[in-house]
Structure 1
Amino acid sequence: MLVITVDLIPGGVEPLRRSIGTVQISNISDLADISSYHLLAMEAANPLTGTAARTGECILFGHDRRQSVWKLIEAAAAAIETADWEPL
């Protein structure tokens, strides 16, 4: 499993650091060369967009594991946009 955390550091001031999002990426294909992944995301409330804190999940199908981890993160980020979201 990969866990990605997105922290916001306003103005680069470390004491103001806060997590605004996380995603867990879990392989559900026995590490096959072409794999599918379960994605579980959490997002903090965002006053700029007016969204409440929420969680979402979806499946990323058919990812080529022989690519860079950044390609997996890119594909996961795109898939999360289609997730079923529930308010916290």
Structure 2
Amino acid sequence: MLVITVDLVPGGYEPMRRTIAAMRIANISDLADISDYQIVANETSNPLSGTPPRTIRCLIQAHSRRQSVWALIATACEEITKSDPPTSSGGG
């Protein structure tokens, strides 16, 4: 399993560091050369965008394990973004 955390460090001031998002990527294909992965991503609320805390679950299917770990993370981010519900633009 891969665990990715995103920490915010305002102004580079370490005592203010806080985790704002995390993602877990679990191989569900017994480490086959072409594998499927379960993704669980958590994000804290964001007062700037007005979004509440959320958890997103999705799958990656048929990913080649011979690629860089960054390719897997990028694909996971794409799947999370596609699974993310659209926000309201607040128009009239």
- Fold equivalence (TM over 0.5): yes
Counterpart of 1:71 in 2: which secondary structure? helix
Rg: which structure is higher? 2
- State, as a whole percentage, how many aligned pairs show the same letter: 58
C-alpha deviation, 1:47, in angstroms: 1.2
Cα distance in 2 for partners of 1:6, 1:83 equals 19
Cα distance in 1 for partners of 2:83, 2:22 equals 14
The runs of at least 4 consecutive aligned structure 1 residues that moved more than 6 Å come to none
Whether 2:43 is the aligned partner of 1:43: answer yes
C-alpha deviation, 1:81, in angstroms: 1.1
- Aligned residue in 1 for 2:55: 55
TM-score computed with the length of structure 1 as normaliser? 0.91
* C-alpha RMSD of the superposition: 1.2
Cα distance in 2 for partners of 1:83, 1:28 equals 19
CA offsets, 1:29-78, max 9 Å, x none?
11111111000010010112110011110101111100111111111111
- Aligned residue in 2 for 1:29: 29
Distance 1:72 1:42, change over 3 A: same
Figure out how many residues of one structure are paired with residues of the other and give that number: 85
Which 5+ residue runs of structure 1 have no aligned equivalent?
none
- Aligned residue in 2 for 1:64: 64
Which 5+ residue runs of structure 2 have no aligned equivalent?
86-92
Cα distance in 1 for partners of 2:82, 2:40 equals 12
Quick check: 1:58–1:84 contact (8 Å CA) kept in 2? no
TM-score computed with the length of structure 2 as normaliser? 0.87
